[in-house]
C-alpha cells in the first residue's frame, strides 16, 4: 500500500485551473439519500461533487492508518487521541474479511464496533476499507477457510503456470463468498451507526489487479478470452463514444471501433488489460451492489497507479481502476460511486487531473505523509474540489508535520470552502519564485508574489482564495503577497477597505486582528506571513 515515491517541489505542480468535468452518466449524480433518510451521500454542486453528512457538505481532512493498526482495539487505544490532536476529522481504517468471518457463516463484529466507538469518543469519523478478496493485488486478507480450499475458491494462473495467493475474479464462488460477508458488514453498520453516521464511506477491496502477468491464463480465462466481448460493454462504449477517456478510446479506434468480436479483435494491444478490468469491475460491482442493498453509503475503489510512461500491465496491477480503464469499470460496475487514486508519484497535480475526467469525483485515500502533504491537501481540495485527502500511515506521522496546521485552517475555512466548491469562485495560489504573476477571480486581477518570507525556503508560499461576496475574499495560507486590481466595469482604482485576520466559529466569521497597517504594505496588498497558515478576510472598494 505504501509504495515509496517522491513528490517534486510544490510550485512545480500548480499550473491548471480548478476543473471537475460534469458527466450526466456519472455515479455521483445518481447518488441520493433515498429511502434511508439523510445518510451520507454524494451531491453535485456546480462542477464539483460533495459528500453530504447530516445535511451539510463535509470535506474529509483525513489520514489512513497502517494496514494492521485497526486489527487490535488495544493498539488503537493510544492512537485515537494522537489522530484527533493532528486535526483530522476522519480516519481510514481497515476491516478485513478474515477477522469478520473467521468461520464461514459466523460473523464477529467486535472489532468493527470497537473502531466505531473509538472514533466517536475522539469526535472522529470513519471510512472503512474492506480488505476482502484482494489487497494490493493479492489475497492475503481472505479467511483461512478460503485460503485452504483452492478447488472451491480458484486462483489466477500466470503465463508461467504459477498461481500463488490470488483469487481469480472469474469465479462465481469467490465473488459470492466475498459479497455475502460484505453485505453482512454493511447490514451491521446500518444497525449500529445509521443515526450517528460515524462511518461516511466504504472502500471496497484495495488496489486490485493482477501482478506478474497482463491477464489470467487459467483454462476458464482462456475460454472466456476467446469468446466475444460482452455486449453490455460494447453497448456502453458505443453510447459514450464521444466522451470516453482518450487513452482508451485510441486503442478501440485503432482496432476500428468494432461493435463485435473477441477481446483481441476489439481492443488490440489493450485486450488483456481490458479483459481483466471488465471481470474485476463485474466482481466488485456485484459486491458493492449487495452492500448498498443493506446500507447505501458512498462506495469507491482505489487504484495502484501506472508508475511511469510505457510501464506494461502486470508490472502494475493489470485490470485495476487506473484512469485509462475507468470506462470499462463504469460499464462493469455501475454501482461504484467513484474511482480513487493512491498517489505516491511526483506529478501529483497531473494524477488529480486524470481522475477528475468525465465526472469522476476526486477522493485521495492514500498519499505520501512527508512534509509536502500539507501542500498536496491544498491542491486536492482547493484546486480540484476533492471530497477529501488522506496521507497514508497517519499514525506514524510526526506531530510537527505541517499537515496539522493546514488541516486546522481548512477546518476553520470549511463553511466558505464548501459553499464555493464547484462555483468558479475558488482558486489555489503558490509562490513559484518566478517573480509576480497574474490570476483573475471574481472581477479582480490578483498579482501574486513572494511575501512574508515563506516557510522552508524556495517555493513555500501557498494560499486558497475564495470570492465570498461582492468585493470580498477569504484568503487562507502562508508566505504570499497578493495585490488586487479591478478587472470588471466600474471605477478603475481599487483600495483596501479592511483586512481582518480571524477564523470561523460555528459557521460564522469571527474577526481577530485588524491588519490595515504595516501588515498590508501600507495599504497596497494583502500579506500572508511565513510560519503556520492563517485566514484573512479582505474587503475592497473602488474609486476614480
Provide, rounded to the nearest whole percent, the portion of the chain with pLDDT above 70: 90
Is the per-residue pLDDT at 436 higher than 80? no
Is the per-residue pLDDT at 4 higher than 70? no
Per-residue confidence (pLDDT) for residue 505, from 0 to 100: 87
Is the per-residue pLDDT at 221 higher than 90? yes
* pLDDT tens figures, 12-21: 333 332 222 2
Q: How many CB atoms lie within 10 A of CB 125?
A: 23
* pLDDT tens figures, 345-384: 999 999 999 999 999 999 999 999 998 899 899 999 989 9
Residue 302 has phi, psi (to 5 degrees) of: -115, 160
The domain 10-420 is placed in CATH, from the list 3.20.20.80, 3.40.50.1820, 3.40.1180.10, 3.10.450.50, at: 3.20.20.80
* pLDDT tens figures, 35-64: 455 899 999 999 899 999 999 999 999 999
Is the per-residue pLDDT at 85 higher than 70? yes
Per-residue confidence (pLDDT) for residue 77, from 0 to 100: 98
Q: Average pLDDT for residues 96-109, to the nearest whole number?
A: 98
Give 5 or 499, the one with higher predicted confidence.
Answer: 499
Give 532 or 308, the one with higher predicted confidence.
Answer: 308
- Grid cell, residue 209, equals 489487479
Per-residue confidence (pLDDT) for residue 518, from 0 to 100: 81
Classify burial at 491, counting beta carbons within 10 Å of its beta carbon; exposed 0-12, middle 13-18, buried 19 or more.
Answer: exposed
Report yes or no: 166 and 274 within 8 Å, Cβ to Cβ.
no
Provide, rounded to the nearest whole percent, the portion of the chain with pLDDT above 90: 79
Per-residue confidence (pLDDT) for residue 392, from 0 to 100: 98
Is the per-residue pLDDT at 299 higher than 50? yes
Query: Rounded to an integer, what distance in angstroms lies between the CA atom of residue 542 and that of residue 544?
Result: 7
Q: CB pairs under 8 A, 24+ apart, for 99-106?
A: 99/71, 100/181, 100/184, 100/185, 101/143, 101/181, 101/184, 102/143, 102/144, 103/143, 103/145, 104/143, 104/145, 104/177
Q: Average pLDDT for residues 84-100, to the nearest whole number?
A: 98
Q: What is the DSSP letter of 115?
A: H
Q: Which CATH class is domain 426-543?
A: mainly beta
Q: Do domains 10-420 and 426-543 have the same CATH topology?
A: no
* pLDDT tens figures, 268-293: 999 999 999 999 999 999 999 999 99
Domain boundaries along the sequence of the chain: 10-420, 426-543
Q: Average pLDDT for residues 484-496, to the nearest whole number?
A: 93
Q: Average pLDDT for residues 121-136, to the nearest whole number?
A: 98
Cell 486478507, residue? 141
pLDDT interval class at 254 (50, 70, 90): very high
Per-residue confidence (pLDDT) for residue 430, from 0 to 100: 76
* pLDDT tens figures, 329-342: 999 999 999 999 99
**Three-state DSSP string of 420-448:** HCCCCCEEEEECCCCCCEEEEECCEEEEE
Q: Average pLDDT for residues 202-222, to the nearest whole number?
A: 97
Per-residue confidence (pLDDT) for residue 435, from 0 to 100: 62
Amino acid at each position: 500500500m505504501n509504495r515509496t515515491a517522491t513528490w517534486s517541489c510544490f510550485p512545480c505542480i500548480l499550473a491548471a485551473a480548478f476543473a471537475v468535468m460534469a458527466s450526466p452518466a456519472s455515479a455521483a449524480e445518481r447518488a441520493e439519500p433515498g429511502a434511508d433518510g439523510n445518510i451520507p451521500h454524494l451531491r453535485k454542486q456546480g462542477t464539483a461533487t460533495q459528500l453530504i453528512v447530516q445535511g451539510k457538505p463535509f470535506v474529509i481532512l483525513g489520514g489512513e492508518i497502517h494496514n494492521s493498526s485497526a486489527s487490535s482495539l488495544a493498539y488503537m487505544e493510544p492512537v485515537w487521541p494522537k489522530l484527533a490532536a493532528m486535526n483530522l476529522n476522519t480516519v481510514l481504517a481497515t476491516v478485513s474479511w478474515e477477522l469478520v468471518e473467521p468461520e464461514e457463516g459466523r460473523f464477529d463484529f467486535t472489532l468493527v464496533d470497537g473502531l466505531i466507538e473509538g472514533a466517536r469518543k475522539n469526535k472522529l469519523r470513519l471510512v472503512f476499507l474492506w480488505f476482502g478478496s484482494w489487497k494490493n493485488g493479492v489475497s492475503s486478507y481472505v479467511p483461512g477457510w478460503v485460503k485452504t480450499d483452492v478447488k472451491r475458491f480458484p486462483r489466477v494462473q500466470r503465463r508461467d503456470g504459477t498461481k500463488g495467493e490470488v483469487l481469480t475474479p472469474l469465479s462465481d464462488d469467490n465473488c459470492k463468498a466475498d459479497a455475502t460477508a460484505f453485505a453482512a458488514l454493511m447490514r451491521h453498520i446500518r444497525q449500529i451507526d445509521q443515526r450517528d453516521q460515524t462511518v461516511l464511506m466504504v472502500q471496497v477491496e484495495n488496489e486490485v489487479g493482477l501482478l506478474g502477468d497482463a491477464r489470467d491464463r487459467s483454462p476458464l480465462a482462456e475460454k472466456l478470452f476467446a469468446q466475444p466481448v460482452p455486449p453490455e460493454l460494447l453497448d456502453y462504449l458505443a453510447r459514450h463514444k464521444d466522451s470516453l477517456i482518450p487513452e482508451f478510446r485510441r486503442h478501440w479506434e485503432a482496432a476500428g471501433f468494432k461493435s463485435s468480436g473477441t477481446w483481441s479483435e476489439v481492443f488490440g494491444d489493450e485486450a488483456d488489460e481490458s479483459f481483466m478490468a471488465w471481470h474485476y469491475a463485474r466482481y466488485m460491482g456485484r459486491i458493492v451492489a449487495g452492500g448498498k442493498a443493506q446500507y447505501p453509503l458512498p462506495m469507491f475503489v482505489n487504484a495502484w497507479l501506472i508508475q511511469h510512461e510505457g510501464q506494461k500491465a502486470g508490472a502494475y496491477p493489470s485490470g485495476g481502476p487506473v484512469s485509462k480503464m475507468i470506462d470499462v469499470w463504469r460499464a462493469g460496475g455501475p454501482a461504484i460511486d467513484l474511482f480513487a487514486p493512491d498517489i505516491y508519484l511526483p506529478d501529483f497535480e497531473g494524477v488529480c487531473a486524470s481522475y477528475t475526467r468525465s465526472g469522476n469525483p476526486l477522493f485521495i485515500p492514500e498519499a505520501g505523509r512527508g512534509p509536502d502533504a500539507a501542500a498536496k491537501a491544498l491542491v486536492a481540495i482547493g484546486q480540484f474540489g476533492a471530497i477529501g485527502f488522506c496521507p497514508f500511515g497517519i499514525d506514524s506521522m510526526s506531530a510537527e508535520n505541517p499537515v496539522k496546521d493546514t488541516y486546522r485552517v481548512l477546518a476553520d475555512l470549511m463553511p466558505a470552502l464548501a459553499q464555493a466548491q464547484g462555483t468558479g469562485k475558488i482558486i489555489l495560489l503558490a509562490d513559484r519564485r518566478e517573480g509576480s504573476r497574474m490570476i483573475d477571480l471574481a472581477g479582480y486581477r490578483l498579482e501574486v508574489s513572494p511575501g512574508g518570507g515563506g516557510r522552508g525556503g524556495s517555493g513555500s508560499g501557498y494560499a486558497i482564495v475564495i470570492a465570498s461576496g461582492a468585493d470580498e475574499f477569504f484568503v487562507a495560507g502562508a508566505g504570499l503577497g497578493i495585490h488586487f486590481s479591478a478587472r470588471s466595469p466600474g471605477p478603475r482604482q481599487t483600495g483596501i477597505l479592511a483586512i481582518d485576520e480571524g477564523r470561523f466559529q460555528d459557521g460564522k466569521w469571527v474577526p481577530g486582528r485588524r491588519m490595515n497597517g504595516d501588515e498590508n504594505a501600507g495599504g497596497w496588498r494583502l500579506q500572508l506571513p511565513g510560519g503556520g497558515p492563517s485566514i484573512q478576510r479582505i474587503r475592497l472598494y473602488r474609486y476614480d
